[in-house]
Amino acid sequence: MAAAKAKQWFFKHEQMDFELQIMLGSCYFGTADAGEILMTAECIRSGDAESWVDGWLETAARVRGYADESVGSGNDVSARQAYLRASAYYAATLSMIDGTDDPGRGADYWKEHIECFDRFCSRLSPPAERVEIPYEKTPMPGYFFKPDDSGGPWATIIFNNGSDGPTVAMWGSGVAGALARGYAALVFDGPGQNAMLFMHKLPFRPDWEAVITPVVDFLVARPDVDPNRIALSGISQGGYWILRALAFEHRIAAGIADPGVMDVSTAVAGRFPKRMMKLLEAGEEEEFNKEMGLALKMMGQETRQTVAWRMKPYGADSYFEWIKASQEYNAREVIKQITCPMFIADPDDEQFWPGQSREVYDALESPKALVPFTREEGANWHCEPKARALYDKRMFDWLASVMPA
């Protein structure tokens, strides 16, 4: 199935338009404010990565100033709200940083984003707990969010980020909705994500059970977590990772994929002409890299920037290595090992993995729900960027039926 082409509202540059829709959708949870978004967008030239980064950086610094001002005057609620927005605006720079003259500064902006997010988390009631989850030689950093001061034990949802989402995005991608319904929530950085990428240079891995099993071990050791009520939610590429993990980790009571991702590699390789696929399958690395380089020169800055951004967390040194690595992220051989109930989001106009939510649903043998999100509802595109309220309603209503808070 060919990737769908949905309406772009703000920029001709598809990725910029998608990112802006994500920002607008996050207003529902206070992660952004519409006026701040739209005024920043006015300063951005479509396809110009430098203007994108400069615009969001200026807005982030201004909103962080609001937060610091509120701290100085003892207004913690205002400070908390502004730190959350500032964190999101610093993070917004990262999606285009590889198209600028100095992509290395992205690590500094990521640190600014996480510092603001820390200040937001410390002002929640109750405050979120910064945690370190034992993992091989490098603990995985994360946050444990508590719905109240009762001490639990709570039903808990693990929110597994995708390939490029900043930590702050997880607030609007499930954490806020979970807390409002009485669930505890855990957010963590796995290999290739956020701190594990920016600070420790650890790349993705396909065998995600090696990541999730330590996370579950960490949770079941906590007296405030009910070990029989742990769910696992994956957004974007997390829709593959959770399938892989759930095939092996059976202590989890429910799984949520937004969307379902059976084969990660098709997001890129699925668009290659037959000649490129033949080179890839034949192992012709030098010729493949040459052809890919020539193609990217013709495709323009948007595609080159996107490829640079997507390659980074795989730790690949060449186009060939990147695509070959992504082909290892395939759940077809293990999906029938999943035993827990599954929620699979299926948005119209899915632009990265069209048709795969249905494929995942059809392959599953456990209790399952395939839940459409339509264009008419304003819920189309990858991960329903403009309709997170509707997503929360449907997902959490389903979860309450299989794993109540």
Q: Which residues are catalytic, by number?
A: 236
- Distances in Å between the Cα of 131 and the Cα atoms of 39, 215, 219, 223 are 36, 11, 11, 15
Q: What is the CA radius of gyration of the chain?
A: 20
Determine the Cα–Cα distance for residues 326 and 80; give it in Å rounded to an integer: 39
The pair of structure tokens assigned to 154 is 């709570």
List the beta bridge partners of residue 263: 330
Q: Which backbone phi and psi does 314 adopt, to 5 degrees?
A: -85, -15
List the beta bridge partners of residue 370: 344
Determine the Cα–Cα distance for residues 245 and 338; give it in Å rounded to an integer: 9
What is the DSSP-derived secondary structure letter of residue 174?
Answer: I
Query: In one letter, which amino acid is 336?
Result: K
Determine the Cα–Cα distance for residues 64 and 82; give it in Å rounded to an integer: 6
Q: Quick check: 24 and 37 in contact, CB under 8 A? A: yes
Q: Which residues fall within 8 angstroms of residue 341, CB to CB, at 6 or more apart?
A: 253, 254, 255, 366, 367, 368, 369, 402
- Distances in Å between the Cα of 394 and the Cα atoms of 11, 156, 174, 373, 402 are 30, 18, 12, 10, 13
Determine the Cα–Cα distance for residues 77 and 158; give it in Å rounded to an integer: 26
